[in-house]
């Protein structure tokens, strides 16, 4: 994990300087070269916006990457903390009666029949089996300790990918956001269409930018490509 942290740190420093914060220089930067983030100041390069980094983690990997983002971007760091913490047995995707499996079926669009059908179509959810249909599915998203990102304009949100989506506590946090630019990333599993799912869920005043998975297998080139894409989206 320490080695992964070093890799992510190097990737972020090199990629951020080489893409979003580029000033037209063609100078190549070694992965081992130390870069002072005071000289980069991403916030000022994106229209002077204030950045907050928020994460949900049960295995510390999302936390580790989020900490790197917060450090390198000089951003405030917040943790999504469920009122009822997750135990190891809760995160059992092979057990249809585990907490994550049950929470996965919580509707993000309310309980009305028409909205549930829209949700099922949008997320390609298969009809439950008889045993699964007999379970009691919560009607509300999991409660979390309140988070106030204050005047942050940009909110970077990190989490593990659970069943190809963001964990439900992440949606609990997202539902109260307004007038924010949201940049999501995951650290486990495939990112897939999570940014689209989030975009369909959050308040219409928010802008959801292209997200991606960050792992020990992520290359500098992939991060540079992602940062370049984000930079072009900010310019729109």
What would the DSSP string read from start to end of the chain? -HHHHHHHHHHHHHHHHHTTT--S------TTS---GGGT-HHHHTTT--EEEEE--SSSHHHHHHHHHHHHHT-EEEE--BSSPPPGGG--TT-TTSHHHHHTTS-SS-S-HHHHHHHHHHHTPPPPPHHHHTS---SSPPPB-----TT-SEEEEEE--BTTB--HHHHHHHTT--S-EEEEEESSS--TTHHHHHHHHS-TT-EEPP-EE--TT--HHHHHHHHHHHHHHHT-
Q: Evaluate whether the domain defined by 2-86+140-234 bears CATH number 3.40.50.360.
A: yes
Q: What is the pTM of this model?
A: 0.74
pLDDT number for residue 136: 72
Between helix 220-234 and helix 2-18 the angle, nearest 10°, is 40
CA–CA separation, 92 and 96 (whole Å): 8
Tens of pLDDT along 204-213? Answer: 999 999 999 9
More confident call, 76 vs 126:
76
Q: Quick check: 112 pLDDT over 50?
A: no
Domain assignments of the chain as residue spans, ordered by start: 2-86+140-234, 94-133
Identify the CA nearest to 165 among candidates 197, 139, 137: 197
pLDDT number for residue 124: 53
Residue 210 CB-density burial (10 A; 0-12 exposed, 13-18 middle, 19+ buried)? middle
pLDDT number for residue 14: 43
Tens of pLDDT along 2-26? Answer: 444 544 454 454 444 333 333 333 3
Q: Label residue 64 by pLDDT band (50, 70, 90).
A: confident
Q: Label residue 148 by pLDDT band (50, 70, 90).
A: very high
- Ranking 67-76, 151-160, 224-233 by mean pLDDT, the lowest is 224-233
More confident call, 153 vs 169:
169
| Count of beta carbons in the 10 Å neighbourhood of residue 101 | 19
pLDDT number for residue 110: 63
> What is the average pLDDT across 57-83?
88
> What is the average pLDDT across 63-74?
85
Q: Taking the C-alpha atoms of 175, 229, 225 and 216 in order, what is their torsion angle to the nearest 10 degrees?
A: 0
Question: What is the rounded average pLDDT for all residues in the chain?
Answer: 75
Q: What b-and-e string marks burial along 29-43, b requiring 16 or more CB atoms within 10 Å of the CB?
A: eeeeeebebeebebb
pLDDT number for residue 222: 78
pLDDT number for residue 16: 46
User: 173 to each of 35, 114, 130, 155, 193, how far by Cα in Å?
Assistant: 33, 25, 32, 11, 19
pLDDT number for residue 149: 94
Percent of the chain clearing pLDDT 70 (strictly above): 67
More confident call, 7 vs 226:
226
Tokens representing residue 78 in the block: 């917040």
Q: Taking the C-alpha atoms of 83, 131, 161 and 84 in order, what is their torsion angle to the nearest 10 degrees?
A: 10
């Amino acid at each position: 994990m320490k080695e992964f942290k070093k890799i992510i740190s190097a990737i972020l420093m090199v990629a951020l300087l080489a893409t979003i914060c580029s000033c037209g220089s063609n100078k190549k930067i070694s992965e081992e070269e130390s870069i002072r983030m005071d000289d980069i100041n991403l916030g000022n390069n994106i229209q002077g916006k204030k950045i907050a980094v928020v994460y949900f983690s049960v295995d510390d990997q999302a936390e580790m990457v989020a900490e790197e983002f917060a450090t390198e971007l000089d951003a405030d760091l917040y943790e999504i903390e469920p009122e009822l913490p997750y135990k190891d047995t809760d995160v059992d995707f092979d057990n249809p009666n585990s907490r994550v499996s049950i929470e996965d079926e919580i509707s993000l669009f309310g309980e009305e029949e028409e909205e549930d059908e829209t949700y099922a179509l949008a997320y390609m959810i298969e009809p439950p089996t008889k045993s699964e249909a007999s379970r009691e599915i919560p009607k509300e998203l999991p409660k979390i300790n309140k988070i106030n990102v204050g005047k942050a304009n940009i909110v970077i949100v990190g989490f593990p990918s659970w069943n190809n989506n963001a964990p439900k506590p992440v949606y609990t946090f997202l539902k109260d956001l307004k007038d924010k630019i949201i940049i999501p990333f995951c650290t486990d599993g495939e990112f897939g269409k999570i940014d689209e799912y989030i975009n369909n869920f959050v308040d219409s005043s928010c802008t959801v930018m292209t997200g991606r998975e960050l792992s020990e297998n992520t290359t500098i080139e992939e991060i540079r490509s992602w940062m370049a894409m984000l930079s072009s989206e900010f310019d729109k």
